[in-house]
Structure 1
Amino acid sequence: MSIEITVLFDVLPERLADTAEAFGDLCAATRREQGALRFDAWRSEEHGNVIVLVEEWADQTAIDLHMKEPYVADFLARTDGAFTRPAYVHRLRPLAA
């Protein structure tokens, strides 16, 4: 079974444009990874400064490898100080599990 994760990021209004660009670059690079089944960034319609990352991974090994990629470090550097609070991570599982 694959691993599904959503992550909510509350972005400072003055950092929204550059943060959205950083997410775009991260998504493009990540989608080329072997174990990345889905990696998309969305903007909330209800909360304009919230970016939602929707991820699906083949397994934990794929996630661990992803976190070691240089473009992840670049993303973290580019978005340093851009969020109002720590990211809100949801690792999902089916209701029946």
Structure 2
Amino acid sequence: MLQVIAKSIAKDDKIEETKKALEALVNPTRKEDGCIKYELFQDIDHPEVFVFSEEWESKTKLEVHLKQPHLVNWAELSKTLLKEPMEVSLLEKLA
């Protein structure tokens, strides 16, 4: 099992647009083979910060996810919406 944390920081004038674009990723991703959990959060004190908490069956399944059209489109769109590239951490549960 693979845990993923993906953090995005929207440009100040693109918060709502970023939120809508990220929300649009949720349903198609949850239907993907190997997706166990895919949840989107918005920081209460810093509304420009969005975090995905994900759980995948394997790194291979995650790699397939990253090639899906909705993620390819997001990668392009994120260049205009985010202050910096999305920060992604791949985590292995220890305890």
Q: TM-score by structure 2 length? A: 0.89
Hey, what's the Cα distance between the residues in 1 that align with 2:69 and 2:46?
30
RMSD value over aligned CA atoms? Answer: 1.4
Q: SS at 2:85's partner residue?
A: coil
In 1, are the aligned partners of 2:3 and 2:93 still within 8 Å (CA)? Answer: no
Number of matched pairs: 95
Which residue pairs with 2:29 in the alignment? 30
Which residue pairs with 1:16 in the alignment? 15
The one-character-per-residue Cα deviations of 1:18-46 (angstroms, maximum 9, x if unpaired) are: 11111111111100001011111110112
In 1, are the aligned partners of 2:79 and 2:85 still within 8 Å (CA)? Answer: no
Please tell me the residue identity of whatever aligns with 1:48.
Answer: P
Which residue pairs with 1:80 in the alignment? 79
Pairwise mapping of residues 1-97 of structure 1 onto structure 2 (< 5 A)? 2-96=1-95
Higher share in helix: 2
Q: Which runs of 4+ in 1 moved over 6 A?
A: none
Q: TM-score by structure 1 length? A: 0.87
The one-character-per-residue Cα deviations of 1:61-83 (angstroms, maximum 9, x if unpaired) are: 11111111111112223322211
Q: SS at 2:64's partner residue?
A: helix
Hey, what's the Cα distance between the residues in 2 that align with 1:43 and 1:95?
26
The percentage of aligned residue pairs carrying the same residue is 23
In 2, are the aligned partners of 1:5 and 1:92 still within 8 Å (CA)? Answer: yes
Which segments of 5 or more consecutive residues in structure 1 lack a partner in the other structure?
A: none
